[in-house]
Structure 1
Amino acid sequence: MNIVTLTTDFGLANAFVGTMKGVILARAPRATIVDLTHGVAPGDIRAGAFALLAGCRYFPNGTVHVAVVDPGVGGPRRAIAVRTRDYCFLGPDNGVLSWALARETVRSVRQIANARLWLQPVSRTFHGRDVFAPVAAHLARGGSFHRVGPELADYARLPWPAWRETGGKVTGEVLVVDRFGNAITNIPEVGLPAGMFSGLVCVGRRRWCRLGTYYAAVPPGQAVALFGSSGFLEIAVNGGSAAARFGLRAGSRVTLRRDDSAESRPLCRTTR
């Protein structure tokens, strides 16, 4: 396979993304480059990690996943390459790869240190172009993984906010807010305790919305809680932004509690 995906916080207003693609194609002309996203908020490592986690597993085996959300570029942070059973991952060693890697079988971790593979001279501020893109091209065209640099014992891990079950309640938090204003939490659909699917969702103290199975399960302008395509509980507004309406952001606490009378009352409570 010679597929390369790109996940960055570069946006599309400047030439950063196109330049990375040019470097890859100059060295691996047969590569297929897929934009996973370039809409990560600047420097938001957590949002980048979630985007990679949400999207990487849908690609064919052998895909090279490049994630560049790199506020520490030019500093002491390492650049790393990770080979798993199915993929290769490249990025700064700041945790942006770690949520995706937690679902993978990691086979080898190496520091990207072989300057002969890089684009010279190397900018102190654009390792996406000069380091990650040429190494991605090397791997996409079948180059040896061990050539990227020395083996490492480990890599930086971004803590995954744990959800907790206590006293008939499941407590979690908002992980990210997507471009529609949906607040995606760390409460998973798979593994949720029995009975919680007819529970009450509280985000703060006062506002309520109905638990549904799709966004249009409530009239336009009303709030709804549902398990979205990512497999996690999210708070949404049909045709609007839950984040804007309720002041939700990464880290906002979310509580799902059992409610035996759920069929006769609103099922989701949302506040700041």
Structure 2
Amino acid sequence: MSIITLTSDIGMQDYLVGAIKGQLWHYCPECHVTDITHHISPFNLPQATYICKSAFAWFPLGTFHFVLINLFDRRPDHVLVAEHNGQYIGCADNGLLTMIAGGMPEKVVKIPLPAHAPKNTFTIIQQLAMAARELSRGKALGEIAPLTQSIHIKHNLQPLVGDDFIEGQIIHIDSFENVVVNITRDQFNAQRRNRRFQIFFRRNEVINQISETYADVPEGQKLALFNAAGYLEIAINKGNAAGLFGLQGFRRDQLTQPTGFQQLSFYQTVRIIFQ
């Protein structure tokens, strides 16, 4: 039985997620469909990358991941299906694929959308489902469409690094309002080189140690740890870090408001100073 995961920015307010699942079972009646999340912030490709990379690694080989993020960034005439780390990823040709894969995936094809079909979510799902059906029956990716490297490329949001600092950006705020920063444990250790450090955020807020669990500090106290996905997290033991400290993740309107870049930098930056 094939596994198909769904990740989207659709939300759960209306019929669309249920209709997508019904459509998938129509074309792949034996598949198991499971949700990763439908609450990605609109247009937030760094957050989508973090969620997808962190979740996909735990699925079995041969899993199909349908990532329905920013599907209509441009008028679509095709969708992408890629083979990467023994799994398959289907998404729009908007740069997200290369962000999730950390570069060009091992194999990728463009699946054309029917010329006279509506350019909507259901047409995209139909083509992805039909591709998944053929692949689950043993076809190679290159047999369902020609392999290509001509796709839209975007790079992951990387921390800024200097000799005595590393500066990251907030990429996700979870349901407990813990704040996830795009600094991994490996990046931190490589830059630290056994030096003391201070983590600065929200003006004068400072943390100078890494905890292993939330319970390492008293209730109501701030802490920093590396979460299960290996990313730096700013949290409060049994509290809401994002709300208390006024921290925000990326919003598209920050880029269009007159003071947007100032706000983006002020709210998103977390800097670690090494001494």
Question: 1:196-238 CA deviation, whole Å, 9 max, x = no partner?
Answer: 6852101243123463221222222221111111101111122
Per the normalisation by structure 1, the TM-score is 0.81
- 1:124, 1:175 → 2: CA distance? 28
Gaps of at least 5 residues in structure 1 are 260-272
Tell me the equivalent position of 2:166.
170
Tell me the equivalent position of 1:23.
23
SS of structure 1 residue aligned to 2:112: coil
What CA RMSD, in Å, does the superposition of the two structures yield over aligned residues? Answer: 2.7
Q: 1:200 aligns with which of 181, 185, 198?
A: 198
The residue correspondences of 1:50-199 to structure 2 (distance < 5 A) are: 50-72=50-72, 75-76=75-76, 78-102=78-102, 106-113=105-112, 115=114, 121-124=117-120, 126-191=122-187, 192-193=189-190, 194-195=192-193, 198-199=196-197
Q: Which residue identity lines up with residue 136 of structure 1 in the other structure?
A: A
Superposed displacement of residue 145, structure 1: 2.5
Could you tell me the percent identity over the aligned residues? 25
- 2:11, 2:112 → 1: CA distance? 27
Alignment CA distance shift 1:7-1:140 (3 Å)? farther
Matched, 1:43 2:49: no
- 1:213, 1:197 → 2: CA distance? 19
Superposed displacement of residue 122, structure 1: 3.6
Alignment CA distance shift 1:197-1:29 (3 Å)? farther
Superposed displacement of residue 123, structure 1: 4.5
Query: Whose helix fraction is larger, Structure 1's or Structure 2's?
Result: 2
Q: Which residue identity lines up with residue 180 of structure 1 in the other structure?
A: F
- 2:125, 2:85 → 1: CA distance? 26
SS of structure 1 residue aligned to 2:57: helix
Per the normalisation by structure 2, the TM-score is 0.81
Alignment CA distance shift 1:156-1:248 (3 Å)? farther
Given that 2:197 and 2:208 are in contact with CA atoms closer than 8 Å, whether structure 1 keeps it comes out as no
- 2:237, 2:15 → 1: CA distance? 35
How many residues end up aligned between the 2 structures?
A: 255
Superposed displacement of residue 70, structure 1: 2.0
